[in-house]
Homo-oligomer: A and B are copies of this chain.
């Protein structure tokens, strides 16, 4: 008999929509012992969140997210709000006895992330779980890459090269909230480096020991003010006549470092890499083989087998769409019927439900303990960029 767990979603923006879709889809595509019941969605505008609930199939909506912590039918709180609310909401939810899944980056600051990690440790004694939505782990090609490394197919790893290149942040883009530090926390760094640090750690199974050097840059220092968003900064940042305001986040943050098992690694996140719209890329070079992934071709994994007949070696494009061999695929469509961005979320929902039902996930879920390590790297990179010096990971508690 399938039991269900009530989901309480906080946030009805782009991410709220992606999660809502996934909670609906998981019940159809996957067969798990725990069924997701879309109980409540919380937002800021009564009208908008009500429409959202109707559209995506929640039983009800609210503008008081805390009310969900008193609803006995809700067992899981899903946080998709601005980064600076993650800690408050996640900790409250854990303390109220709910499981939590929170969007990335884990938090706006390391301190908040630490508080979340500590709350999760405490809650785990009561059998509760807390995860961060590093959705790309469940892109079949990425999950398969993780499995290949685990099977020893790469051998000793020499290089990790991670990039998340976007290009929507050109000079014509106005001063959206994402460019305002107090709302967004950081720019490309928290938004994009968070993903690729997690992916690099997840696929290699290794950890950074040092950030050796880093560059933080805000290329576009002033942006056109937008009605509504411009408000909060009109006092300080706006140059009156031109109706321009100051961008207070990074457009780009790149860093390099070393890993425990001897690899060197580089990371780059930017919103000004013209022509690269969603180039979430990872390349790993090992002694026995190499892997390459680019989200812009998310159904494929490139693989170089360095152990076969030298004359036949080449970069091989594996379509990770084979139900028999690639993770998650059997739940969707027949071989080579591509899946998309949203399926990573659906597959993560399925693993969350599996764990809540007492089973193991197909590949490891990023729990708060795990995600905290990514947050430490984010912090170390920022420190290195600002203090212009190498930062040992051991400095960052």
- Taking Cβ atoms with an 8 Å cutoff, the residues of A that contact B are 14, 18, 20-21, 24, 27-28, 55-57, 144, 158-159, 161, 166-168, 170-171, 212-215, 217, 219, 251-252, 254-258, 262, 264, 266, 268, 270, 272-278, 285-290, 295-300, 302-306, 309-319, 321-322, 324-326, 332-343, 384, 388-390
Contacts and interface: CB of A to CB of B under 8 A. Distances in A.
The 10 residue pairs across chains A and B that have the minimum distance between CB atoms: A213-B213, A311-B325, A275-B304, A278-B336, A277-B336, A340-B340, A314-B316, A314-B318, A316-B316, A275-B290
Given A55-B28, A158-B273, A312 B318 contact: yes
Contacts of A287: 170-171, 274
Copies in the complex: 4
Q: Which of A56, A161, A166, A341 is packed against the most chain B CB atoms within 10 Å?
A: A341
Contacts of A24: 24, 28
19 contacts: A21-B28, A24-B24, A28-B57, A144-B311, A170-B287, A213-B384, A256-B256, A266-B266, A266-B268, A275-B285, A275-B289, A276-B285, A295-B338, A297-B297, A302-B314, A312-B316, A337-B342, A340-B340, A340-B343
Give the secondary structure class of A's interface. mixed
Contact of A213 (B286, B319, B390): B390
Contacts of A309: 325
A337 B195 CA distance: 15
